[in-house]
Amino acid sequence: GGMRQRVMIAMALASRPKLLIADEPTTALDVTIQGQILDLIKLLQEEEGMSVLFITHDMGVVAEIADRTIVMYRGDKVETGPTEEIFKRGKHPYTRALLSAVPKLGSMRDRQWPTRFPVLDMKTGLSTEPEEVAETVASGQTPVLSVKNLVTRFPIRSGLLARQTGAVHAVENVSFDLFQGETLSLVGESGCGKSTTGRSIMRLVGPSSGDVSLDGYDVMRLDTVGLRNMRKSVQMIFQDPFSSLNPRMTVGTAISEPFIKHKLGTTKQAKEKTADLLEKVGLSADMANRYPHEFSGGQRQRIAIARALALDPKVIVADESVSALDVSIKAQVCNLLLDLQQSLNLAFLFISHDMAVVERVSHRVAVMYLGEIVEIGPRAAVFDNPQHPYTKKLMAAVPVPDPARRGIRRGISNDELKSPIRAMGYETPARNYRTVSPGHLVQVA
C-alpha cells in the first residue's frame, strides 16, 4: 500500500506542480507507512516549494502536517484558522465534536474492559462520558475458536513450465484461542498477514497446514457441505462495504440472502429477520428496498454488519472494518460492535492497524510481523508494557492529535516491511516465547 501511494505521489510530481491536492492519501495505510508518506510529502514540499491542499478526516494527520486548517460540515466552511489555534481553542460545535471523537492512545490506562466512544452531538459539540461496557468473557470456558500452528503459503511459479521457485510465507505458525464474548485484535503493518490469517480461518484461502477448531468443527478437514455448515458460525465484515455489497441488489435482498441460501426459514421469515437486523444496527426497516449507492459509508458498513449477523454467528472476523471511516462514524460503528457483543455474546477477531481504536475495543491483542505473532496478551499488558521492538515501533508511529508535538519524532522507520518471499525448501525456525505476565507472551530471538 505504501509503495503504491509513493508511485502515485511520483506521478503527481512529474510536472513539478505549484499545488499538490492530496485527497485522503493516508486513509487506508497503517501507522508506520502513513508516517513515511507524511514525511515524504513534507520533504518534497520543502525541496520543491509547493503548496499542499491536504484533504483528510484524520485529525492526528491534520496536527502532523497542516499549517492552517479549514473545518467543513455539510458542504459549508464552519471554521478556519491556524492549526494550533483550531486544536486548542476550536469555537464551532462541530470542530469540538470532531476533536473529542479522536481516539487517543493511552486513554484506556485506567480502564479494565472495552469502552464505548463518546456519543457526540454535532450541533452542540457536547459529548457523553465514555462508558465502560460490562465484562462479556466468562472465566473457565472452552475457546469458541482455537488456532494451532496455522501456516498459509502461496506458491511462486516462473518459467515456461511454471515450476514453483519459491513461496510467499503469508502466515507462519500462528496460534491463539478466542473465547465467547471476547475481542482479540490482530494488529500490524500492511502485508504482515493479518487479513490472510482471518481468511485462512474461514477457509476463504487454503491454509497449508495447522489446526483450526471452530465451534466444534475441525475446519482443516471439512468438505464442501461441512464448510457451508461451519460458516453459519463465523462471518466476515470487510473493509470496503461498497465492494462487498452487490450494487444490483437491494440491501434487504443482500441481508436476507444468507438466511434464504441456508434454508433457515420462509421468505416471510427472511423479511422479518431483515427488518429486525436493520433495526439492530441502527437503521430503519423501511430502508430495505434501497440500493447500496443510496447510503453513506457508515450506513453501508452497518448494512454489512447486519448481513454478517443474518446466520446468528458466534464469531465475526472484522477485517479493517472501520479503517476507511471518518472519526465520528468510526466511533458510532465501534460502539455498535460493542453493543452487539453485549447483547449477542459475540466473539470478534478484530483485524486493524489503528492502534488507538484497538486499545479501545479489545480484551486481548496479538501483534503480527512477517506472518508471525511476536507478542500477545491482555490489552492493558501489551499497551502499558510493550516488550517486542516491533510493538514499540507501532505505538511510537501513531500520530498524536496535538500540533504542539509536531516536531517530536515518532520513531518512524523508513525501511519497507521485509519481504515474506522465501526460496523453495525454506522452513521458518522454531520460535520461543517468554512469559512477561499471566497471558502476556513475547517472542524471543
Residue 109's nearest CA partner among 382, 406, 334, 420 is 382
What whole-number distance in Å separates Cα of residue 246 and Cα of residue 251?
Answer: 9
**Which domains, from first to last, does the chain contain?**
1-127 (3.40.50.300), 145-407+433-444 (3.40.50.300)
Residue 4 has pLDDT above 60, yes or no: yes
What pLDDT score does 417 carry?
61
What pLDDT score does 54 carry?
95
Residue 188 has pLDDT above 70, yes or no: yes
Residue 412 has pLDDT above 60, yes or no: no
What whole-number distance in Å separates Cα of residue 295 and Cα of residue 318?
Answer: 20
Band (349; pLDDT cuts 50, 70, 90): very high
Grid cell 486548542 is found at 88
φ, ψ (nearest 5 deg) of residue 68? -125, 155
Residue range 42-92, pLDDT digits in tens? 888 888 899 999 999 888 889 989 999 999 988 999 999 999 999 999 999
Residue range 217-228, pLDDT digits in tens? 999 999 999 999
What whole-number distance in Å separates Cα of residue 273 and Cα of residue 252?
Answer: 10
Residue range 371-410, pLDDT digits in tens? 999 999 999 999 999 999 999 988 888 877 888 877 665 5
Residue 249's nearest CA partner among 207, 208, 291 is 291
User: Looking at 231-371, which runs of residues are DSSP E strands?
Assistant: 234-237, 315-319, 347-352, 364-369
What pLDDT score does 141 carry?
83
What whole-number distance in Å separates Cα of residue 103 and Cα of residue 105?
Answer: 7
What pLDDT score does 416 carry?
58
Confidence (pTM): 0.89
Chain centroid, CA 232 distance in Å: 23
What pLDDT score does 124 carry?
61
Q: Specify the range with the lowest mean pLDDT, choosing from 189-203, 353-367, 411-425.
A: 411-425
What pLDDT score does 130 carry?
62
Band (267; pLDDT cuts 50, 70, 90): very high
Residue range 124-175, pLDDT digits in tens? 656 666 666 767 777 678 999 999 999 999 999 998 888 999 999 999 999 9
8 A C-beta contact, residue 117 and residue 133: no
Average pLDDT over residues 275-299: 94
8 A C-beta contact, residue 77 and residue 65: no
What whole-number distance in Å separates Cα of residue 348 and Cα of residue 369?
Answer: 21
Residue 58's nearest CA partner among 29, 85, 21 is 29
Residue 280's nearest CA partner among 347, 209, 190, 341 is 341
What whole-number distance in Å separates Cα of residue 216 and Cα of residue 227?
Answer: 12
Average pLDDT over residues 287-315: 94
Q: Which residues, including other chains, have CB under 8 Å from residue 330's CB and lie 6 or more apart? A: 101, 103, 117, 322, 357
Residue 283 has pLDDT above 90, yes or no: yes
What pLDDT score does 59 carry?
86
What whole-number distance in Å separates Cα of residue 198 and Cα of residue 239?
Answer: 13
Residue 303's nearest CA partner among 283, 320, 326 is 283
Half-sphere exposure of 40 (CA within 13 A, CB side): 21
In the chain, the amino acid numbered 17 is: P
Average pLDDT over residues 327-348: 91
Strands 183-187 and 347-352: parallel
What pLDDT score does 15 carry?
86
- Between 111 and 248, the more confident residue is 248
Backbone region of residue 203 per phi and psi (left: phi > 0; alpha: psi in -120 to 50; beta: other values): left
8 A C-beta contact, residue 153 and residue 178: no
Average pLDDT over residues 95-113: 82
Give the chain's radius of gyration (CA, Å).
Answer: 23
What pLDDT score does 256 carry?
96
What whole-number distance in Å separates Cα of residue 93 and Cα of residue 311?
Answer: 41
Q: Most confidently modeled of 134-148, 209-223, 316-330, 403-417?
A: 209-223
What whole-number distance in Å separates Cα of residue 136 and Cα of residue 341?
Answer: 8
